Chains A and B, each alone.
Chain A
Amino acid sequence: MNLTATQIIHRAAKNPRSQAGDANNMGDTHNMKSGDGYSSDEVSAFALDQAPAYALPPFPRGGRGGFWSAPAPRWAATMLLLLPLVSRAADTFNTDDLALVRAAEQERIDVMARASRSVVCIFDENRGGGGSGVLITPDGYGLTNFHVVAGMMKTRRGLGGLPDGKLYPLSVLGIDPTGDVAMFRLGGRERFDPAPLGDSDQVRVGNWVFAMGNPFILAEDYTPTATHGIVSGVHRYQFGADNRSLVYTDCIQVDASINPGNSGGPLFNMNAEVIGINGRGSFEVRGRVNVGLGYAISINQIKRFIPGLRAGLLTEHGSLGATTIDLGYRKVVFEKMLEPSVASAAGIEIGDRLLRFAGREIHSSNQFANILGVFPANWPVVVDFQHNDQLISRIVRLERLPVNSKEPFEADENLNQEEVKHVLNATTSVLGHIPITETLKWSGHREGKIRLPLLGNLGDFEVAETSDGHGSYVLRGRGAVPTRRYEYNGRTALMASGDEALSSADPTATAWANLWMATRRAVYAPLDDERLKKWRHLGGDEFDGRVVDLLQFTSNEGPDLRVAVDPQTHLPVRAMWKPTDAPSSERPAVEIELYDYRDVQGTRLPHRIRTYVGGEHRTDDVISRYQVEAP
């Protein structure tokens, strides 16, 4: 700016063309003089040297006294007083506006002060390297770029500096090398100041944002540098080294300065919510300095990976197992396909037209790649495609896009078990006020005789067996079938019975009842060490538009059970049998989704259960009444 300013003044002095224009600047000059206490000598030097270029008559140099000394003509003083008012009349410059500016500035200062408490300067164990990060939980979990911690992967140890001027021990947890994200945890303090996560889908071009971090390792005291700007673009794509490392897809482009050292630091909206992790800039022409184009990984992409990152996993991105090609305007067609792949399993054939992916209309292959990149492997995504003249919509679970890394990553099993505890201990605590020794019994409320204890000793499905070897309960409500009665035969299956038009062979009914029972049995049991070993955290999953934790329970009694748990409520929301030991025709994958949890005599139970068999939506059952009886 100074250079520019010099030039302007040079030109102004030399160039009579700018006379008219600069007369107003002159007004500003005097405005400055009265407001900001520049000495009259400075002003007079300016005025005198420039005088020939302006419409104002020259002031006499007047020796030491500056231009206020006599014999300045009286009209000159009058003009000086008037000029600021005249020149700015058009800009609605008044005290109200000034107050607004000051209020806005104070608000910005407050927001940045609040945000800065969560910003971390990241170093390796030897205080080398240098990047940024942001804390997102009070117990010290934080986000950064993978490329910031890549050098620490041998020991997975580093240091994190906070604005209190202290360095804290840092351990690297899970990593996402494809998306350039890593999670770390700071220790050494009871409670940290986390930054709330925003919703990056709401980010619009033109939004005001600020980046925080430690560019050029400027801050010896670890107070972050703030750079302010606007969102220049959304849904941007930045190539990685290949399609499996450091790819920025669907990212946010900002004109706030992003420099080396900003990597891994947060991009905040003006509510101090994290909307992205800054990691790149357009450095290819001018070298590694800001050129007004920085890129942040959108926080909504990262949210899908956070469960896996917390659990210390090497998270992988998803793939359809098929590539597309552009054929004409906005026409995207499947070109190549792996066999088998999730694409082929979904019934997609080469030549089919891709219409929508994850709810977004696809206009080009690049756009498809851009959107695909934000999803982890195994993520459920809706694909809409056109097969001949048929429009087909399928939910597919993406397959793995294996990480391209030279060094193998050993997942830390302890971290994984910690995370299972984090998810499940909380779940069991929902039932905490029910004494474990108490046998909870469910009865069909019509009969009221036959009891179905579900929780028994809470560890063993066999306890469900009552003395007469039967249990049953009644579901009333709306759905595919209005009323159903299920009986438990004492072993592993619940079957429909009674006078309704339901055959006991109804696979859906059997399946969901089984699954619900098994889920409750698995999830609500106390988590002792032996049980804990049967669980493994798999990463994130999506349920009803939210990111949830996906766990796997391995037991000897049946196929692996996968349970998705809502991290907000700590309740199971989805369960899947993963068919492993039988051909899929005989044993289709069964999935139930549990909605509408309500309190039933001290325990939270779902009141709507949706069933999928083989990926196909079969039933929606609405449960009108549970009856829970103490023994």
Chain B
Amino acid sequence: MNRISLLRLASALLLLAGTVPVTGIQSRAVNEDGPTAPGQGSPDLSLVIHQAAARIVKLYGATIGGEHGYGTGVVVSADGRVVTTLSLLLEASNLRAVTPDGHTYQAEVIYRDEYRQLALLQMKRYPEDVDTDASINQQMTPLRLDPMPLGNSTDIRGGEWVLAVGNPFKVAEGEEPVSALKGIVSGRTNLEAVRGTQPFPYRGEVLVIDAITSNPGSPGSALITFDGRWIGLIGKTVTSKLTNTFLNYAYPIEEVKAFLQDAHSGASAATQPSPADAPQGYHGIRLSRIGYRRTLPFVERVAMNSPAAEAGVKPDDLIVSANGTAIPHARAFNELCERLRVGEELSLIIKRGNELVPVRMKLTEPPK
């Protein structure tokens, strides 16, 4: 393959494509919002950014290791559900979300997706900070937010102007509006990335962008088009396996939709605990029993035709986490599984060789 000509072609293609949508937007801006701001025919983005920023929350949580303790989330329901990236930040006992009007709410994780590395949060109904100026009635009005309408990204090919709206470096605080960075979509590709030395579990499609979003606080930002359509969610900071450079990318909104659907069933299952009389779910994994009290959770054997076998779990795999909880020793895994009932899902992160492998299975009735 003639790589140089490919590069030239591809970049020229991006450049050309990059100019095309501008005209579309530009004429829209002129038509709908009157004359453009002093921007030499460029679209006026103020309104679009303002509307997006009004649907973003600032997150504050745990500062662990390389985690900076702050992040961004997008409001997806009026009663305070927020989608963001899965990170140690969320493991704080005091996870808080600050709404665009400056109120602070406690929040908790109601659904984790280890594969996509996304999480769904639920904010509390009433803020932590009391508005003493407001009437009692106002103070007792439960949280009501403007959710960000889910757009679609199927027509996004590359070259489209986009904005990443979120709170990198926690530049904004309280009621200050979050930041907006512009860029273009460079293209769509499947992600092959690492975080530190670990492979990044998500290997699906992403939108690669040229706005710099591999910044602390950026993950969980909304990616919108210049006319305000929500087309993606900025992912965690990862480096490309090929180039070993930071990658600026977003999950296509379709992936977020799929996550929300999973979360809808998963979260409702979690909030409605299975009846205790349902039989305990079966996975077919037996852990190694050699060692001390705190045996490392190595897989010793996997029962044939069991859910674990079908999901591809293999002997000598080391279980790192289960359903979003870190598994430090075999007992922790067994305790967790004792609570799972038939039909519930078990999602594992497994260390196999030097790779982290995510697997998912649905627990069944134990074999006779």
Residues of A within 8 A of B (CB): 1-11, 15, 17-18, 21, 24-25, 28-29, 31-32, 35-36, 38, 41-43, 45-46, 49, 88, 90-93, 97-98, 100-101, 103-104, 107-108, 111, 204-208, 229-230, 232-233, 235-236, 253, 255, 269-271, 282, 284-286, 290-293, 328-331, 363-364, 366-367
Inter-chain contacts of A36 with B (CB < 8 A) = 12, 16
- Give the docked Cα–Cα distance between A326 and B40 (Å): 43
Inter-chain contacts of A292 with B (CB < 8 A) = 168, 181, 211-213, 215
Inter-chain contacts of A255 with B (CB < 8 A) = 180-182, 211-212
CB pair A92 B9 closer than 8 Å: no
CB-CB under 8 A for A8 and B40, given A291-B212, A328-B130: no
Chain B nearest CB: distance from A314 CB in Å? 30
Total A-B contacts with CB atoms under 8 angstroms apart = 237
Chain A nearest CB: distance from B60 CB in Å? 15
CB pair A29 B41 closer than 8 Å: no
CB pair B181 A328 closer than 8 Å: no
Chain A nearest CB: distance from B45 CB in Å? 3
CB pair A100 B5 closer than 8 Å: no
- Give the docked Cα–Cα distance between A52 and B162 (Å): 31
CB pair B46 A97 closer than 8 Å: no
Inter-chain contacts of A43 with B (CB < 8 A) = 9
CB pair A204 B186 closer than 8 Å: no
**Does B368 interact with chain A (Cβ within 8 Å)?**
no
**What are 18 A-B residue pairs whose CB atoms fall within 8 Å in the complex?**
A5-B6, A7-B187, A7-B189, A8-B189, A11-B189, A29-B9, A36-B16, A45-B5, A45-B6, A46-B2, A91-B21, A92-B23, A97-B26, A108-B40, A205-B45, A284-B169, A364-B175, A366-B174
CB pair A46 B133 closer than 8 Å: no
A43, A91, A291, A292: residue with the most chain B Cβ atoms closer than 10 Å:
A292
CB-CB under 8 A for A5 and B212, given A32-B13, A208-B42, A293-B179: no
Inter-chain contacts of A330 with B (CB < 8 A) = 102, 131, 133
CB pair B22 A1 closer than 8 Å: no
CB pair A233 B177 closer than 8 Å: yes
Inter-chain contacts of B216 with A (CB < 8 A) = 285
Kindly list 19 other residue pairs between chains A and B, CB separation below 8 angstroms, not including A285-B215, A328-B130.
A4-B189, A5-B7, A5-B187, A6-B10, A7-B208, A18-B188, A25-B13, A25-B158, A31-B16, A38-B12, A46-B2, A49-B1, A103-B41, A229-B182, A233-B171, A235-B176, A270-B38, A329-B102, A363-B102
9-residue interface stretch from B81-89, B238-246, B356-364: B238-246
Inter-chain contacts of A32 with B (CB < 8 A) = 9, 12-13, 16
- Give the docked Cα–Cα distance between A15 and B49 (Å): 35
Interface residues of B in 20-51 (CB under 8 A from A): 20-24, 26-27, 37-42, 44-50
- Give the docked Cα–Cα distance between A229 and B243 (Å): 26
Name the one of A21, A88, A92, A290 contacting B188, with C-beta atoms under 8 angstroms: A21
- Give the docked Cα–Cα distance between A7 and B14 (Å): 13
CB pair A328 B2 closer than 8 Å: no
CB pair A28 B179 closer than 8 Å: no
CB-CB under 8 A for A290 and B171, given A6-B10, A100-B26, A331-B133: no
**Does B172 interact with chain A (Cβ within 8 Å)?**
yes
Chain A nearest CB: distance from B209 CB in Å? 9
CB-CB under 8 A for A104 and B11, given A8-B188, A45-B1, A329-B131: no
CB pair B132 A328 closer than 8 Å: yes
CB pair A207 B131 closer than 8 Å: no
**Does B331 interact with chain A (Cβ within 8 Å)?**
no
CB pair A42 B181 closer than 8 Å: no
Chain A nearest CB: distance from B219 CB in Å? 13
CB pair A232 B39 closer than 8 Å: no
- Using an 8 Å CB-CB cutoff, how does the interface string of B197-210 with A read, 1 for contact, 0 for none? 00000000100101
Residue of B nearest to A254 (CB): B181
- Give the docked Cα–Cα distance between A31 and B15 (Å): 13
Residues of B within 8 A of A (CB): 1-3, 5-14, 16-17, 19-24, 26-27, 37-42, 44-50, 53, 102-103, 127, 129-134, 155, 157-158, 168-169, 171-182, 186-190, 205, 208, 210-216, 240, 242-243, 245
Inter-chain contacts of B44 with A (CB < 8 A) = 206
CB pair B169 A282 closer than 8 Å: yes
Chain B nearest CB: distance from A200 CB in Å? 13
Inter-chain contacts of B41 with A (CB < 8 A) = 100, 103-104, 107
Residue of B nearest to A18 (CB): B188
CB-CB under 8 A for A5 and B14, given A32-B9, A285-B216: yes
Name the one of B16, B38, B243 contacting A271, with C-beta atoms under 8 angstroms: B38
CB pair B23 A100 closer than 8 Å: yes
CB pair B1 A42 closer than 8 Å: no
CB pair B171 A253 closer than 8 Å: yes
Inter-chain contacts of B179 with A (CB < 8 A) = 232-233, 253, 293
- Give the docked Cα–Cα distance between A205 and B181 (Å): 10
Chain B nearest CB: distance from A291 CB in Å? 5
CB pair A6 B19 closer than 8 Å: no
CB-CB under 8 A for A329 and B127, given A6-B6, A38-B9, A108-B40: yes
Name the one of A4, A93, A208 contacting B20, with C-beta atoms under 8 angstroms: A93
Name the one of A4, A93, A111 contacting B23, with C-beta atoms under 8 angstroms: A93
- Give the docked Cα–Cα distance between A271 and B37 (Å): 10
Residue of A nearest to B167 (CB): A233
Chain B nearest CB: distance from A356 CB in Å? 14
Residue of A nearest to B1 (CB): A49
Inter-chain contacts of B22 with A (CB < 8 A) = 101, 104
- Give the docked Cα–Cα distance between A489 and B127 (Å): 69
- Give the docked Cα–Cα distance between A25 and B13 (Å): 8
Inter-chain contacts of B131 with A (CB < 8 A) = 328-330
Inter-chain contacts of A2 with B (CB < 8 A) = 7, 10-11
Inter-chain contacts of A1 with B (CB < 8 A) = 11, 14, 186, 210
Residue of A nearest to B49 (CB): A206
A100, A103, A206: residue with the most chain B Cβ atoms closer than 10 Å:
A206
CB pair B49 A282 closer than 8 Å: no
Chain A nearest CB: distance from B303 CB in Å? 33
Residue of A nearest to B134 (CB): A329
Inter-chain contacts of A9 with B (CB < 8 A) = 6, 10
Inter-chain contacts of B157 with A (CB < 8 A) = 21, 24-25
CB pair B187 A45 closer than 8 Å: no
CB-CB under 8 A for A91 and B24, given A2-B11, A270-B38: yes
- Give the docked Cα–Cα distance between A15 and B187 (Å): 14
Residue of B nearest to A285 (CB): B216
Residue of B nearest to A15 (CB): B190
CB-CB under 8 A for A329 and B130, given A5-B14, A28-B13: yes
